[in-house]
Structure 1
């Protein structure tokens, strides 16, 4: 196909997605571009359910984790102040081992095992709406003495490394917000990076999530940090990425450095670089990243060889930006889309010991609360085709075996069991959090926010319960470490401990 025909096919694909956002619902924009500029912009839905103003490519949203590659570009630009091989403790001496020994590079490439701050707060019973500030959060992290796993041995998504490296740079007088405003201007983009949700941002449209019946305004209390603080329009994000593809001036060599292969401790190569993840489509390799804040979703996908890309931004929680971007890219390149696989048998599975569990429903595999679609791979294998959540599994008799996050696992079917009465009692953490277990349920919170959540036994001291927090539903694994000691485990935080009170 000619380039003109390619762009026409990609635009038609993008338009189908944009047109699915109705004019009485939150919406979004899909933008196609190359190194010379924007080739098309398709939009649908509205900026605000109060004004019903149509969503456009100029509507300002929160990019969320699409921020990460931009922050890594700032880190690379100040290699004289902080190096990728520096241990975090060199710049943040208050951190304790083993967190202090994680290198800056591993903190940014998702191999550091650093527990995600927001998920830690969830496991302490703090809502997504609870306001937190930068300094107390850093003090909280400085009290931690466990990683999710030994640095360099796995890949698991976490925002904490970005929070810590940002704090280190700020102590040296380097501020991310200054950087994105300056470099954004050089690219012809209007970008910002507010610290907290309630900071005013010019033109920012509200975000929404669907509670099952009605659209609700989104909100969040967590100090955002450079893991996800950037704001701007779809058009501005495209212009920023065009600058990276152009590889000139302040952007020269940056994209290549950000997307360079990152080795694990055993010499294996991760597909997650510095704020960018590799994606495969047919025989071609692409790079991109997604972002998710309550009420906002974003994604971009780049072909560095052809120097083209696609941006997706939206102010609605249910947008699948990856699907939109990859199908638009496939329409342009003519590559065949991967086929989702149902080769794994539906059910809940757990390892012989430890908190690691999966649930299979059709082509969706949930691992420690993180949902991933799996696709056909070689032979009887299935793969998530995700560098940030790598999964490669197959059936082995009744069991499921393979790798999750680059770690070898064998999952066995869960056999239904009773929750033992010995689990009952009051459990407390060193951070002052507490919950009760009574009649087979976890009870968290006080007064009108006191919730009773039934436990499901997985066997060998593991139990699951479901915690609903506004737009988020979290499936928590309670793992007994001893008669009077347990841990609560989510995909991004696997180290919050409680002890039996009294």
Structure 2
């Protein structure tokens, strides 16, 4: 890095921005987080706020251990591809190593599984659509059996990009079948050489030294977060923001455990048709003014993380938090923007607020106050090439959209999309009763304008909203979140569609259905 570039970095402004963010967490009895600023050699600044533990009232520090969640992905990709001696090639198919998988899932390449273009349905979201709560325990073996039942994909591999944790789970399973464990690789190649406390627990309930609780808030106050799904290498690593920063410094310096890592992980990836993607292998590429930065975020129940690196300028930002409401990506961008003295694009309100749906497809878009929610996953909108274009800065859910006076059109996930304002219809009276998924024995009932799912005290109830053309939008509570998905009716079957899972088909249970109009 040149001395001119070094002198142009605004370390004080970045630390002030970080402290402004963490100060908002300094409220009595609230959780918090920490942000670090660093180059390859030195921790240049940090900011902390809130509490690491609401029971003991211990303040959050740079040494508080959290769940990194999907920040794990770049660490796993590093170890699986560069350090495992497993002989994996990005062009190998999953089926070469996991013969239990069915086509077309078996034909997805390892590269597509790791770069979010594989169309692999996300396990957590698929189970959620079957009525399995975030709290329910699911073991690794049972999940693999579940994935082997049906080889369906959300979309043909390579045709669009959409976030899914399943590819990382499957590649981890490939290593396991070779006798290679993620935790062993993590300790041997990263934690021990760098003398940092990284761990990769298999479940939420494994003991992790120093781990602070994650929290989410409802109308009655803060709650301790918990999740039952087997963690997998898509999001299992734990550590502090100090430990994360040490690892990221080795990436910036391109030495020791970090040697060759950024070059491999950030190598350009492409969809079919040579369409470039900003998502690499567990890393994303973002633009801040004239600068290109690389990073990734993570989100577990009650935990939020993000890091951004500018290898050319030898600088980085890392954020960890133990509160569900943290907007980690936005905060990381703000701090990096201040450091680079490069303003973010202005927020966009080019798309009118409202609910939109595509024609003869189960896709919908909700726009509200400069935020777009596509298939239930929301992202901030920023001004694109001109004031009439709205874009996201997200690599795993890129949007580039315009309002033409009658419709919203453009691309989402690099796939063409066209949305018109929803024209509700009265299909409810035709779909009353029970709908059944024979493979999993799951079912839900439509009673009036409500969808009811689950058994006994676990039964939940969600509101139905018409999207027109035989489609109903569902909103159901699920622990700290609300899940949104579409019911797409086609005769005696209905497909359940959300951003990360679009493969489940339920069928009418004639013994428990009623064709009477909704009351």
TM-score, length-scaled by structure 2: 0.95
1:459 and 2:459 correspond: no
Kindly report which structure 2 residues correspond to 1:3-14, keeping only aligned pairs within 5 A, or say none: 3=7, 6-14=10-18
Aligned equivalent of 1:381: 389
- Say which SS state the counterpart of residue 501 (structure 1) adopts: strand
Tell me what 1:241 maps to. 248
Report if the CA contact (8 A) 2:136-2:227 is conserved: yes
Q: Secondary structure in 2 aligned to 1:179? A: helix
Distance 1:184 1:342 in 2: 45
* Secondary structure of 2:58 counterpart: coil
**d(CA) in 1 for partners of 2:8, 2:47:** 17
Q: CA deviation at 1:188?
A: 3.0
- C-alpha displacement of 1:3: 3.8
Residue in 2 that maps onto 1:325: 332
Q: 2:515: which partner in 1?
A: none
Q: 1:426 aligns with which of 410, 429, 434?
A: 434
CA distance in 1, matches of 2:428, 2:32: 48
After superposition, residues 15-164 of structure 1 pair within 5 angstroms as: 15-22=19-26, 23-77=28-82, 78=84, 80-164=86-170
In terms of mean alpha carbon deviation, does 7-16 or 73-82 score higher? 73-82
For the residues of structure 1 that align with 2:155 and 2:166, how far apart are their CA atoms?
Answer: 14
Contact 1:37 1:239 in 2 (8 A): no
| Whole-angstrom distance in 2 between the partners of 1:214 and 1:80 | 47
Shift of 1:138: 0.3
Residue of structure 2 equivalent to 1:175: 181
SS at match of 1:47: strand
Give the match's secondary structure for 1:122: helix
Is the 1:197–1:224 Cα contact (8 Å) retained in structure 2? yes
Partner Cα distance (1:58, 1:300) in 2? 16
Question: Is contact 1:419–1:456 with CA below 8 Å preserved after alignment?
Answer: no
> Is 1:193–2:200 an aligned residue pair?
yes
- Does 2:442 match 1:437? no
Aligned to 1:489: 497
1:407 CA drift (Å)? 0.6
Larger deviation: 250-259 or 116-125?
250-259
Secondary structure of the corresponding residue to residue 206 of structure 1: coil
Pick closer, same or farther for the CA change 1:454–1:268 going to 2, 3 Å. same
3-state SS of the aligned residue for 1:94? Answer: coil
Q: Could you state the TM-score of these two structures normalised by the residue count of structure 1? A: 0.98
- 5+ residue gaps, structure 1: none
Deviation at 1:26, TM superposition (A): 0.4
Give the Cα–Cα distance (whole angstroms) in 1 for the partners of residues 235 and 174 of structure 2.
17
Which of these residues, 209, 213, 216, is aligned with residue 206 of structure 1?
Answer: 213
Of residues 461, 470, 478 in structure 2, which corresponds to 1:469? 478
The answer (yes or no) to whether the contact 1:60–1:205 under 8 Å persists in 2 is: yes
Q: Which residue of 2 is the match for residue 406 of structure 1?
A: 414
- Match for residue 359 of structure 2 among 352, 364, 377: 352
Q: Distance in 2 between matches of 1:59 and 1:250?
A: 23
Q: How many residues align?
A: 501
C-alpha separation between the residues in 1 aligned to 2:314 and 2:421?
Answer: 46
- Kindly state the Cα deviation for residue 80 of structure 1 after the two structures are TM-superposed: 4.8
SS in 1 for 2:355: strand
Stretches of 4+ aligned residues off by more than 4 angstroms = none
Partner SS state of residue 349, structure 1: strand
Give the deviation of 1:5 after TM superposition: 6.8
Give the unaligned 5+ runs of structure 2. 511-519
Q: Secondary structure of 1:240's match?
A: helix
Q: Distance in 2 between matches of 1:188 and 1:403?
A: 45
Match for residue 396 of structure 1? 404
State the distance in 1 between where 2:391 and 2:352 align. 15
Q: Deviations over 1:59-83 (max 9, x none)?
A: 0000000000000001212465221
Kept in 2, the 8 Å contact 1:188–1:239? The answer is no
User: How far 1:384 moved relative to its partner?
Assistant: 0.3
Q: Could you tell me how far apart the structure 1 residues matched to 2:391 and 2:85 are?
A: 36
Q: 1:239 to 1:344 in 2, by over 3 A?
A: same
1:148 CA drift (Å):
0.3
